[in-house]
Structure 1
Amino acid sequence: MKKWFALLLAVFMVSGLMAGCGARSEQGSENGTKAGNEKIVIKFSHVVAENTPKGQAAIMFEELAEKYTEGRVDVQVFPNSQLYNDDEVLAAVQQNNVQMAAPATSKVSKLFPQWTIFDFPFAFPDTDAVQTAMESEEIGGKLFSMLKEQQLLGLAMWDNGFKQMTLDEHPLYMPEDFKGQKFRVMSSRVLEAQFKALGANPVPMPFSEVYSALEQGVIDGQENTLSNIYSKKFHEVQKYMTISNHGYLGYAVITNSAFWEGLPTDVREGLEKALDETTRWVRENAQRLNQENLEKIKADGTLVEIHELTQEEKEAWMKATDVVYEQFKEEVGEDLINAVMALRK
């Protein structure tokens, strides 16, 4: 009897160990780590449509990553907030529930207020100035170095381009045209201050809710790039659009630092090569894609009226929003403000 009991006990122990190993293997596969001969799964979450600069870049990265790692990596892209919205995705990356994300820079500012530097109105005259900023030690180097404090690692910056204003009530020519209007903003205190400086009422809201809010009149207007306006059909529920180029919208490509550093060296090198190529493509093509979307909006048969800011109107907008720089100088850091102001000049 003792022998039979010992044998049964041994069988149960071995079965339990095998089940535990299986569970860990399954969990590892789900969380982006390699189990046995399985591929390394990288879940890439973002909130925009696939026919936008970020959406196309994510697809391009998926293809190149799998090519340069010779199939050892399986990149799974989830667009349109299928997994997480921009307010949730950084926590998901920290917990390794997804391995990569590309949130708007204003979302990163929830962890580090210094990242709101990209939200300042008329901070960058063109995309060349943005690239200069990101490649400088004073701005890009400083911002990316902060991320590791929160188990994050900055991999690249992807352009979407410059934002334009839309409104349903009337055209936006001068700052007084904003008075009393409700504008959707990303969750950024700088963006809220921008609209308050113009006399408008900012309403923080996830990107995925903007169309229905415009359609139902919960908000009166919004700011976004042309690719986002067209792909989400905001122009179909707005009567007026002003080409203002007042603010830059870029995305920080971010991963979980422990996950990235735990990858085999050759796999990581393949992913870095794919990222470099994708980032160059984004820089070269984001402006083109936005221009193409403007032409599509014009040809779409909607009634949206398009106005481009004159130099006089632009200067009035700049003067009205300059207060934002002084308001956040202490919070963001005078060194960052001064570095951006130098680019602005």
Structure 2
Amino acid sequence: MKFPKSMKALSMLVLSSALLATAGCGSSKPSSSGGEQYSKEKPLVIKFSHVTTADSPKGKAADKFKELMEQKTGGKVKVETYPSSQLYGDKDELENLQLGNVQIIAPSVTKLVGLNPQFQIVDMPFLFKNREAVIKFWDGELGNKLMNSLDSKNIKGIAMWENGFKHFTSNKPIAKPEDFKGQKFRTQAGKVLEAQFKALGAGAATIPFGETYTALQQKTVDGQENTFNNMDTQKYAEVQKYLLTSEHGRLDYVVLVNKQWYDKLPQDIKTAFDAAMKEATEFERKLAVELDKKSFENLKNSKKLEIINLTPEAREKFVKQMESVYNEFEKVVGKDLIDGVKKL
């Protein structure tokens, strides 16, 4: 069917008007040209989903990012934070980030092992000598290489947010490697973690975090590994006798964004985003360190735990005991990454 020229012209006019109207609407998905024009009336909406509580270091840092981002863009951006898995939980947040249903998430590093097994580097026992080495790794070339490895999956790693070092607790003595023999420890899922306890002659049981207290109380397991803050808030001192300040592994988060979405942000908003994220990261790391120190004091003051401080000599014995773990996972995690961390 042929339409008169006047009808064709009218149709084109209507279509053009519709496209212009669509371009002016607030959206969380910028156009491919990055030319969206946002304002206070029609802001860019950014959804930030995470699984911890709003009053955790991660939760407070997410709110700090919201405050900074909205301030730096003069209200052209609205950040919606969703703590405590209100929007997405551990099992579905990565998929929804890739699909663009959420723009920012901050999962535990270990949750990324399925995308790239090299993220198991945080589980390699006694690899990071101190916090300074952790920061140098994530903020340096090695950390950037690891984060950039997710680009092909439409995920961009932009920052490491701290939780802290892990330490061992048990109802039996754990001052030296041979003390672990025959004991059973609760742990997160992970082959490196299983190998770690195997190297110590101990067993490992994968038990959900929320069920750990009961498992310790009922003596399903003898001990567990965690940060001071997790031990404190979960009241493990009530069901454990010994705490070894081992600093043998890390529990941290990686802030991730949908790569396609981020790459298409208008330049002024992207600049504000990077600046706000940098400030929020500094805020989170400082808060996490302060909270971990406070929790350690709470654990000591409880008088319920015998605190065993790991000496440099004892640490070397544990490191030697873990040689089999490194032999098994060196190729999986990457010799370049492991050697790089050892030099920090």
Compute the TM-score of the two structures, normalised by the length of structure 1: 0.80
CA distance in 1, matches of 2:220, 2:82: 28
1:1-345 pair list within 5 angstroms: 32-33=28-29, 37-137=41-141, 139-167=142-170, 169-299=171-301, 301=302, 303-343=304-344
> Match of 2:305, as an amino acid?
V
Query: How far 1:324 sits from its partner (Å)?
Result: 1.3
Residues 59 and 103 of structure 1: is their aligned pair in 2 closer, same or farther, counting only changes over 3 Å? same
Q: Specify the SS of the correspondent of 1:307.
A: strand
Q: Specify the SS of the correspondent of 1:176.
A: helix
CA distance in 1, matches of 2:309, 2:60: 27
Tell me the alpha carbon deviations over residues 200-249 of structure 1, each in whole angstroms, 9 at most, x when there is no partner: 22233444443444445444322121122223333344333221111122
Query: How far 1:269 sits from its partner (Å)?
Result: 1.8
Count of residue correspondences: 317
Q: Which runs of 5+ in 1 are unaligned?
A: 1-13
Tell me the alpha carbon deviations over residues 108-147 of structure 1, each in whole angstroms, 9 at most, x when there is no partner: 122101111222111111121122222332x113212211
CA distance in 1, matches of 2:208, 2:89: 7
Q: Specify the SS of the correspondent of 2:160.
A: strand
Query: How far 1:192 sits from its partner (Å)?
Result: 2.0
Q: Specify the SS of the correspondent of 1:271.
A: helix
> Match of 2:339, as an amino acid?
N
The answer to whether the Cα contact below 8 Å between 1:171 and 1:242 also exists between their aligned partners in 2 is no
Residues 340 and 187 of structure 1: is their aligned pair in 2 closer, same or farther, counting only changes over 3 Å? same
Query: How far 1:298 sits from its partner (Å)?
Result: 3.0
Q: Quick check: which one's helix share is greater?
A: 1
Q: Which runs of 5+ in 2 are unaligned?
A: 1-13, 31-35
Partner of 2:9: none
Residues 281 and 73 of structure 1: is their aligned pair in 2 closer, same or farther, counting only changes over 3 Å? same
Residues 113 and 341 of structure 1: is their aligned pair in 2 closer, same or farther, counting only changes over 3 Å? same
The answer to whether the Cα contact below 8 Å between 1:236 and 1:302 also exists between their aligned partners in 2 is no
Residues 308 and 49 of structure 1: is their aligned pair in 2 closer, same or farther, counting only changes over 3 Å? farther
Tell me the alpha carbon deviations over residues 57-88 of structure 1, each in whole angstroms, 9 at most, x when there is no partner: 22322222222222333333333444444344
> Match of 1:280, as an amino acid?
E
> Match of 1:155, as an amino acid?
I
Alignment root-mean-square deviation, CA? 3.0
Residues 229 and 46 of structure 1: is their aligned pair in 2 closer, same or farther, counting only changes over 3 Å? farther
The answer to whether the Cα contact below 8 Å between 2:133 and 2:341 also exists between their aligned partners in 1 is no
The answer to whether the Cα contact below 8 Å between 2:169 and 2:240 also exists between their aligned partners in 1 is yes
CA distance in 2, matches of 1:214, 1:108: 28
The answer to whether the Cα contact below 8 Å between 2:187 and 2:225 also exists between their aligned partners in 1 is yes
Q: Specify the SS of the correspondent of 2:174.
A: coil
Residues 95 and 304 of structure 1: is their aligned pair in 2 closer, same or farther, counting only changes over 3 Å? farther
CA distance in 2, matches of 1:111, 1:342: 26
Residues 295 and 329 of structure 1: is their aligned pair in 2 closer, same or farther, counting only changes over 3 Å? same
CA distance in 2, matches of 1:62, 1:215: 40
Q: Which is worse superposed, 332-341 or 248-257?
A: 332-341
CA distance in 1, matches of 2:137, 2:64: 25
Q: Specify the SS of the correspondent of 2:46.
A: strand
